[in-house]
Amino acid sequence: MRVTYNSLPDSLADQLNRLSLQQLRLQNQAATGRRVQSPEDDPAAMEHVLELQTEGRSLDQYKENIDYLKERSTAAYDAIQGLKKISDRAGEIANLADGTKSPQELRAYATEITQLIQQGVDLANSKYNGEFLFAGTQSDQSPFSATLDDNGQVTAFAYQGNSKVSECEIGENILIAVQVPGANDSGSGNRGLITDTRTGSDFFNHLISLQDNLLAADTTAISATDRPALMQDEDNLVFHLGNYGAVQARLDAASASLSSRGSSVQSLISKEADADLADTLVRLNATQNAYQAALQSGAKLLNTSLMDYLP
């Protein structure tokens, strides 16, 4: 095949351009430590890296969700512990209120129960991050309100939330709810914290009954009705404490799993995208040598004329 003289400069320029681009790419890899920075570097590797980065962002979001749920469940657990202390004290008073106590002593107990009811309503209206914990999905309004008479005794309470709970994703297609509705009289769904028809729990109304029977000095009603009712309420509170403990353990396990998977994803991204510095420097040195050799040989060819071959 005949090669014209005019094709030599074009071929040389082509070769120098390719070597120059290769040098630039290798220098960039050596400087950044990244082998794949754009699709043209390695299309297959770049596609895999993008997939892994997407997975990594999903894992980060799941971890954020878990952190939020852990904080919310901790706030709810603390509130329920406070309610359990109120239940313990109310049960103690119900046991102390027997036939040996005077009406004055029983009225003093009634005053304490009134205070406990109001404390309980405050705890049941606990908030986290601006949302009421026990209002179901109506978390923008306080779930419980108490009605007091002219003497300061609590006569009734009302629940203003609902029995629905929201769920949050902590993994692919894995949903979990850490909400507890304050009351549930539907007979299905999540058990209510204060009131639930399935368990016979009606904590605030049972406290009101104890308060009224103490004021009336009706120790028979306290023994026959209030004590068993308060035991049902306590069992319900213990159930919720245990349930929140199990939820916390599940969230901790999910968080540990996500952290492990996140580390694995980062390792895979590094394996695909990071440059082998020693190999990169060797290739860069070889490319620089090839570039210099091309310049030198090209210069000789371009400076050659027919006169060099004449005798």
- Residue 194's pLDDT is what? 97
The answer on pLDDT for 54 being more than 70 is yes
Instruction: Look at residue 105 in the predicted model and tell me its pLDDT.
Output: 95
pLDDT at 306 over 50: no
Kindly report the backbone phi and psi dihedral angles of residue 51, in degrees, each rounded to the nearest multiple of 5, phi listed first.
-65, -45
How confident is the model at residue 43, as a pLDDT?
74
Question: Average pLDDT for residues 131-143, to the nearest whole number?
Answer: 94
Phi-psi region of 257 (alpha: psi -120 to 50; beta: other; left: phi over 0): alpha
Question: pLDDT tier at 97 (50, 70, 90 boundaries)?
Answer: very high
Tell me the per-residue pLDDT of 237-278, one tens digit each, with 9 for 90 and over.
Answer: 999 999 999 999 999 999 999 999 888 887 777 666 655 445
Most confident of 53-67, 195-209, 268-282: 195-209
Q: Identify the pLDDT of residue 152.
A: 84
**Residues 7-37 pLDDT 10s:** 556 565 565 566 555 555 655 655 555 656 6
Domains of the chain: 53-266 (1.20.1330.10)
* pLDDT of the residue at 297: 63
Look at 36-50, 71-85, 116-130 and tell me which has the smallest mean pLDDT. 36-50
Angstrom distances, CA of residue 293 to CA of 116, 283, 303: 92, 15, 15
Q: How high is the pLDDT of residue 48?
A: 76
* pLDDT value of position 107: 95
What percent of the chain lies above the pLDDT cut of 90?
59
For residues 210-237, give the mean pLDDT. 96
Average pLDDT value for residue range 206-224:
96
CA–CA dist 79, 200 (Å, integer): 21
Which of 19-28, 44-53, 165-174, 300-309: highest mean pLDDT? 165-174
HEC secondary structure over the chain:
CCCCCCHHHHHHHHHHHHHHHHHHHHHHHHHHCECCCCHHHCHHHHHHHHHHHHHHHHHHHHHHHHHHHHHHHHHHHHHHHHHHHHHHHHHHHHHHCCCCCCHHHHHHHHHHHHHHHHHHHHHHCCEECCEECCCCCCCCCCCEEEEECCCCCEEEEEECCCCCCCCEEEECCEEECCCCCCEECCCCCCCCCCEECCCCEEHHHHHHHHHHHHHCCCHHHHHHHHHHHHHHHHHHHHHHHHHHHHHHHHHHHHHHHHHHHHHHHHHHHHHHHECCHHHHHHHHHHHHHHHHHHHHHHHHHHCCCHHHHCC
pTM (predicted TM-score): 0.75
pLDDT mean over 163-171: 92
Residues 6 or more apart whose Cβ sits within 8 Å of residue 115: none
Average pLDDT over residues 84-106: 95
